Structure 1
Amino acid sequence: MKRLNIVFAADYIAPSPGAFIRSLKLLSTRVIEDGGKVAYLFSESREYLSELKKYGKIYICKNTANRKFSVSAVLNMARAIKETRATIVHIQFLGLAYLISAILLKPIFSFKIIVHYRNPPVSLLNKPKLYHKFSPLFYYFLNTFFIDANIVISKSIKNILVSHNFTKSDKIFVIYNGIYPQEIKASYSQAEHKIKDMLRISVKNKVLIGMIANFSPQKDHLTVLKAASILTKKFPNLLFLFIGSNKIAEGYGFMERAKTYVMKNSLENYVYFAGEVKNIYDIIPRFDIGILISNFEGFGNAIVECAIAGKPVIGSAVGGITEIIEDGNNGFLIKPGDYEALAKKIELLVTNENLRKKIGARAKKDALRRFTITNWINNLILLYNKLLSGK
């Protein structure tokens, strides 16, 4: 079998390190331990990327940040492939910058191309009808002749790709995201102190309901706030903690909308906007209930993170969330936008501590079985080797 040498390419890099970079470091370690080499192509330079230098060379193609094809992307990818003698180019798919580059270089260097979908291709499917009609044909052509495998993080995304004829089902592999359980190690009391130190708020004697999600069209903070306006009249000891940054869309910030709702409904004493938090794993163990209310969701990392901390979780019945939560067993599902149902589920957990512990324990057991970083790495290595062996 050919040696496992991988070039990882991503044409979007978050302002701060997250699960993607942590996972990439662990995956790179495994590849190198198995005798392989790695290199990285990114669209932008970030200080935290220096953490990857000990594993392989980093190439920055600044003009790919707009996710469009560029000569710089081709040249840097060629250098990375040549230096590592790459047998696989693994693309974190958001645009065409690195995908077209890999397709142009594949006949020269002979490697396998993997495209990794971390979200459904909503931006494609919402385009005008003419674009909608021909875009799947274009990707179907690429998948037929150039792309060797597509990785998706949920069955939900796979179904979207197949139903819109992006590719055949046998070229799509579901590999769920993985969490590193050892990082969620703080106790309940330690996390309470961390919240006080980091956020300058006291949550002592509060029932803390946490939602980790950026403010964007994808997430539905307003449904949570509508539920909060019902619940806080009954339970004055509730505190809703929103962790996530503000995404501007159509000239108006979603966080601003949420804050306006809080002011108009006198919820200032019950809702706290934490913004971006560097290490959420120091805070999650203090949650009493974890929630993720979304309009659509590729997977739902935040739910798994809360589950591994032993917290009961409530999520919208959309996308990959339905593959994590079994309603009534390891958490609860609600219909999108149903704030009354959300309020009832939260009330059920708030008034029954034993139920919180019971469901939280089930959630943790299931998450540790299905969604660890070890599972994620093992499944990727299996796929890599399958492609290289030709089986």
Structure 2
Amino acid sequence: MMKNLLFIHQSADLYGSDRTLLLLLTKLDKTKFNPVVVLPLSGPLQNELEKENIKVVIAPVLKLYRSMFTLKNMALFFKQIKSALSTLEKLDKEHHFDLIYSNTLAVLLGMMYAKKTGKPHIWHVHEIIVHPKVIAYIFPKLLKKYADVVVCNSNTTKNNLVSRIKKLTDKTLVIYNGLSPKANNFVKIEKTDIGFKPDDIIITLIGRISRLKGHKLLLDTYLNHLDKKENIKLLFVGSPVVGQEYYLEEVEEIIRVNQLGNDVKILPFTKELAPIFDVSDIVVVPSTEAESFGLVALEAMLAQKPVIGSNHGGLTEMIIDGETGFLVKPNHAEELSQAIQKLTDSEELRKEFGKKGFQRATAEFSEDNYINRFVALFEKMTQIR
């Protein structure tokens, strides 16, 4: 018997949690499951889902965000509750949902509707929240009360929760994100297409341009700590969050003031990352705060590229220091520079790390394992026989 699943997600972009959700939904057996997705706005994720004939509804998802705690934004939030619940009630009458899945802690609508209807609720956590402290305190309590199953994308994510409320242990499980290697049929680009020389060594940072991803740290490392950098170049791929464009402006100002226009290039977000990895020699994930997983690191390993990551969060569960890449002290430009120098000095080491990273990624973080574990969970919670 077909089971109808309601998925609620906090954005319509195609970054980490967006892409893992897209993968899960496109790989579900549609003879068993009928997914319906609620997003807060239109965007590339909606387009990709609809290409797969997956129903998408645009409605408030009661998203929690840092600037919501003002009188105006709180008033808007409470105003949206009635509208959002009304939307779900109409969808429920049409589809008779068997399960609710909330993707990321940021969405509260699934929690509220599950409480109202008594439907089973999976809350998939992609965040490690340590501040603001009030939010870090509240969310484990919400998970304990309003989630039947909490899925975490890494052990680090899980430990952050259960260290606060130990009773969450029994309802929390870890399902690592998983991917498959990209086929080699993508449209290739050359280093010269980006504005570099063919023999340049390109160090790539992929991700939102924000205070968390380490763009300024990498620029500081490049400017002040690398001894030899004649043919070493930086490539940033990503766009800022809407409303936080000033982060991009600050990065661009550092590049301008230091006359790095020929050495550092910024490309906007693209969903086709395979050509970017193809021209990259080293991928860095210098996150200034702990990543819950670090999907870019996994993609780089599958592209057989060496990875340098900050030694905290989910990256520590993927990268084996000195074998598939380097783990460096967070926010430490000198240690980051030393790791970069080792890899830029040795093409052989880059190839060795890339090969071993690929082997680890395919063995430990496969797409099949990711999909199969969720399917088993959906079957269990909807009692498919």
Using the size of structure 1 for normalisation, the TM-score is 0.84
Residue in 1 aligned with 2:7?
A: 8
Structural RMSD (CA)? 2.8
Q: 1:253 to 1:309 in 2, by over 3 A?
A: same
How far has the Cα of 1:324 moved from its partner? 0.7
Give CA deviations for 1:317-373 in whole Å, capped at 9, x if unaligned: 111111111111111000011111111111111111111111110001111122232
1:7-46 counterparts in 2 under 5 A? 7-14=6-13, 17-18=14-15, 20=17, 23-46=20-43
Residue in 2 aligned with 1:270?
A: 263
Q: 1:366 to 1:8 in 2, by over 3 A?
A: same
Q: 1:147 to 1:278 in 2, by over 3 A?
A: closer
Residue in 1 aligned with 2:344?
A: 350
Letter in 1 for 2:182: Q
Q: For 1:48 and 1:248, how far apart are their aligned partners in 2?
A: 16
Give CA deviations for 1:225-244 in whole Å, capped at 9, x if unaligned: 12212466523011111111
CA contact (8 A) 1:41 1:76 kept: no
Determine if the alignment matches structure 1 residue 260 to structure 2 residue 268.
no
Determine if the alignment matches structure 1 residue 285 to structure 2 residue 278.
yes
CA contact (8 A) 2:320 2:326 kept: yes
1:1-391 counterparts in 2 under 5 A? 4-14=3-13, 17-18=14-15, 20=17, 23-46=20-43, 49-53=46-50, 54-62=52-60, 64=62, 68=77, 70-93=81-104, 94-106=106-118, 111-122=119-130, 125-128=131-134, 135=138, 138-139=141-142, 143-144=144-145, 146-165=146-165, 168-183=168-183, 186=186, 191-193=188-190, 196-197=192-193, 199=194, 201-230=195-224, 233-247=227-241, 253-296=246-289, 297-389=291-383
Q: 1:71 to 1:360 in 2, by over 3 A?
A: same
CA contact (8 A) 1:152 1:174 kept: yes
Q: For 1:306 and 1:183, how far apart are their aligned partners in 2?
A: 14
CA contact (8 A) 2:11 2:18 kept: no
CA contact (8 A) 1:181 1:372 kept: no
Q: 1:261 to 1:358 in 2, by over 3 A?
A: same
- Aligned identity (percent) is 27
Q: For 1:248 and 1:80, how far apart are their aligned partners in 2?
A: 29
CA contact (8 A) 2:8 2:61 kept: no
Letter in 2 for 1:153: N
Q: For 1:315 and 1:114, how far apart are their aligned partners in 2?
A: 30
SS at the partner of 1:298?
coil
How far has the Cα of 1:247 moved from its partner? 4.0
Q: For 2:141 and 2:63, how far apart are their aligned partners in 1?
A: 22
CA contact (8 A) 1:312 1:357 kept: yes
Letter in 1 for 2:101: H
Give CA deviations for 1:268-317 in whole Å, capped at 9, x if unaligned: 33211223234222211111111110122111111111111100110001
Unaligned runs of 5+ in 1: none
Q: For 2:32 and 2:253, how far apart are their aligned partners in 1?
A: 55
**Aligned pairs, how many?**
368
Q: 1:214 to 1:183 in 2, by over 3 A?
A: farther
